[in-house]
Structure 1
Amino acid sequence: MLEVSTPVKWLLRVIAVGYVFFLVAWPVETIIKTAFSDGVGPLLDVFSEPATVHALLLTLEIAVQAVLINLVFGVTISILLVRYEFPGKRLLSALIDLPMSVSPIVVGLALLLVYNGRDGWFGPTVEEWGLRIIFSGTGMIMATCFVALPLVIREVVPVLQEIGDDQEQAARSLGANFRQTFWRITLPSIRWAVVYGVVLSLARSLGEFGAVKVVSGNVINQTQTATLLVESKYQSFDQPGAYSIAFVLAFISVLCIVVVSLLRPKEGHLK
């Protein structure tokens, strides 16, 4: 282990704390200060507006559905990557990290190119089946799923690798099928990784802006989410309203992470 002098330790601590303060704490403090600059009254007035209520409910609905989809596919892909060997495994693992390296705006444009009803690759065919993806809740959920996809997988994969498959093999040798092994052996072992991945995915989904803006159409009381409403209010010089909605979104995300951190066993993922 590298030994460093006390002054260097303090310098590193100051740099780390300063970095977090200027990058995270100060902007968050500004949001809270501006949201409550005129007291609680204006804040309550903002959330009494039908457009705000609809935007918040729509955001929550899309986020929950996206998280549930990513939960199912995230756990499945994690088990596939860790427990099985197959052609294209490395490519799949690389593609999972694609949402972390591609701008959400690009994701939205890609969905628009593929599923646009008029000139998209599959849009006309999909609309012939009675489905509408772009400028609807379906497209917004797809965009949100894409940007939050890696969060569950990257929490679960390391835990699966660490616990190994000895217990699973023992269960199968005693006659347990895949379903019984998953519910009684695998899932209990990765439950905290799954929970933390879900919380991170929820926080990411609540704050999604770029991809959703492209595929939603941003129609008030129809496809306008809370993040899009924040932009709309800010551009219309309603800064207290914009900061109030931003504060609520940030508060929900931080609250979820804090609660999970408090409930999570000190031993870590495995117990």
Structure 2
Amino acid sequence: MAVTRPAVPQGWMAWLLIGVGAMYLLLMVALPLGNVFYQAFRSGWGAYVEGLTTPEARHAIGLTLLVVGVAVPVNTAMGLVTAWVLARYSLPGKGLILALIDAPLAISPVIVGLMFILLYSTTVGMFREWVTWLGLKIIFAPPGIILTTLFITLPFVVREVLPVLESTGREEEEAACTLGAQGWQIFWRVTLPQIRWALLYGVILTTARGLGEFGAVAVVSGKVIGQTNTLTLHIERVYMEYQTIAAFAGASLLTLIALGTVAGQALLGQSEQGQKG
């Protein structure tokens, strides 16, 4: 089968469109990203490090890593199970299930935070009596931040893994079963190699989304300095207090993570294409 190569741009109209697209990317992506790092380092390396090593900044970074450290493994495991069940069984109401999985992508993060307040707040929450009886503190505490992050990041692993499982079918899994393989052996030796790239995509997206969440976390956290301030909330606070170097230092850290996510996706895509080739 002949490989069709991309056409070389010809004519002034083609180059004009390319120029317009490049200018748009420069103005909307490259310049804002570059300005984040310029603002972060304009007072030197010492001021940059100081902005990231204050007690408030260290706590914000640690809390963010804690939230992501819980949300990513949980949604990875649950996403794998959900995708496998949806791909391997004809469930009634499958369309509704998929719509519910996609709901976090459509609902405003602020509304997500309000939803959890109306469920778990000790004053207005639907489950306030249970929360009070159990002695739990969910809203305005790290558990509330973790719950909202779990909700926000729920779809990514499922949506990356499900199409791959549907396209590969279950023939190899059934063949392994007839040869005497057990459930975990089938997963590790048959299913996981088929979905590993999609799973990595999903984990990367889940991590990036969890690190950068602001709206839902801002609602349920209470923004208590040194207790419930994640890195995004810390950036907002110090910026509003005119600590611009500290704000842009934190923003540059999140930007580096985001760029690393994009680079990781690109490298995984190249590796996947190389193995297929």
Relative to the length of structure 2, the TM-score reads: 0.90
Higher mean C-alpha deviation, range 155-164 or range 70-79: 155-164
Give CA-to-partner distance per residue, 1:5-39, whole Å, 9 cap, x none.
73454344334333333332221111111101111
Q: Distance in 1 between matches of 2:235 and 2:265?
A: 27
Match for residue 165 of structure 1? 170
Match for residue 248 of structure 2? 243
Match for residue 6 of structure 1? 10
Residue among 13, 37, 40 paired with 1:32: 37
- Provide the secondary structure at the position in 1 that maps to 2:42: coil
Q: Distance in 2 between matches of 1:210 and 1:12?
A: 36
Determine whether 1:181 maps to 2:186: yes
Q: Distance in 1 between matches of 2:234 and 2:211?
A: 13
Relative to the length of structure 1, the TM-score reads: 0.92
Residue among 83, 86, 90 paired with 1:85: 90
Match for residue 102 of structure 1? 107
8 Å CA contact retained: 2:64, 2:230: yes
Match for residue 62 of structure 2? 57
Give, in angstroms, the shift of residue 182 of structure 1: 1.3
Residue among 195, 208, 212 paired with 2:213: 208
Mark the runs of 5 or more structure 2 residues left unpaired by the alignment.
none
Q: Distance in 2 between matches of 1:203 and 1:12?
A: 32
Residue among 230, 233, 236 paired with 1:225: 230
Residue among 251, 255, 263 paired with 2:260: 255
Give CA-to-partner distance per residue, 1:22-63, whole Å, 9 cap, x none.
332221111111101111111111122111111111111111
- Provide the secondary structure at the position in 1 that maps to 2:242: coil
Mark the runs of 5 or more structure 1 residues left unpaired by the alignment.
none
Q: Distance in 2 between matches of 1:66 and 1:125?
A: 24
Give, in angstroms, the shift of residue 267 of structure 1: 3.4
Give, in angstroms, the shift of residue 118 of structure 1: 1.6
Give, in angstroms, the shift of residue 183 of structure 1: 1.7
- What's the C-alpha RMSD, in Å, of the aligned pairs? 2.2
Q: 1:11 and 1:80, CA in 2 relative to 1: closer, same or farther beyond 3 A?
A: farther
8 Å CA contact retained: 1:118, 1:124: no
* Structure 1 residue identity aligned to 2:232: T
* Structure 2 residue identity aligned to 1:198: V
* Percent pairwise identity: 42
Determine whether 1:190 maps to 2:190: no
Q: 1:132 and 1:88, CA in 2 relative to 1: closer, same or farther beyond 3 A?
A: farther
Q: Distance in 1 between matches of 2:239 and 2:166?
A: 46
Q: Distance in 2 between matches of 1:251 and 1:81?
A: 35
8 Å CA contact retained: 2:197, 2:272: no
Give CA-to-partner distance per residue, 1:124-159, whole Å, 9 cap, x none.
212312322111111101111111111111211121
Q: Distance in 1 between matches of 2:210 and 2:51?
A: 22
